[in-house]
Amino acid sequence: MSEKITQPAPVESIEKLNKKEFIALARELCASQEIFPFPGIKPESLAKLRAADEEYPGYTTPTDEIVERLKNEGMKVMLGKYPESGNVFILPAGSDDIEKDMIFPKHFQTNGVLNEKLRNLIEH
């Protein structure tokens, strides 16, 4: 009996597939225009974002200000100018300024995120 042995997909193709899925998910969440409750920022991410604020003052809206707006307004998913490259951002619901008010999805906590698609986007 000969069994056909399948080779695992190369890591590169897996990463590309995941990136395509990530972008498709982001497109769907962006198109829905849904406002999501703010789940919080991971503590280690918050420390890095605040350090970047200190190193590059005035480059973006201060992290603590964005966090306060996210708490008050909720948040939404936005695509960058070139979403195929993975430019996906989370912004306060009342902002369209991806230059100043964005935080990458990877920085958010997933505890309490009820929307499965948003949770998958953050976990990617």
The CA distance from 19 to 60, in Å, is 26
Predicted local distance difference test score (pLDDT) of residue 19 = 84
Grade residue 12 by pLDDT with cuts at 50, 70 and 90.
Answer: very low
Q: Give the domain ranges of the chain.
A: 11-123
The CA distance from 74 to 70, in Å, is 5
Percent of the chain with pLDDT over 70: 86
The 3 state secondary structure assigned to 34-85 is CCECCCCECHHHHHHHHHHHHHCCCCCCCHHHHHHHHHHHCEEEEECCCHHH
The CA distance from 90 to 98, in Å, is 8
Predicted local distance difference test score (pLDDT) of residue 85 = 84
Predicted local distance difference test score (pLDDT) of residue 83 = 82
Burial of 56 (0-12, 13-18, 19+ CB in 10 A): exposed
Assess whether pLDDT exceeds 90 at residue 15.
Answer: no
108 contacts 39 by C-beta, under 8 angstroms: yes
25 contacts 34 by C-beta, under 8 angstroms: no
pLDDT tens per residue across span 26-73: 999 999 999 999 999 999 999 999 999 999 998 899 999 999 999 999
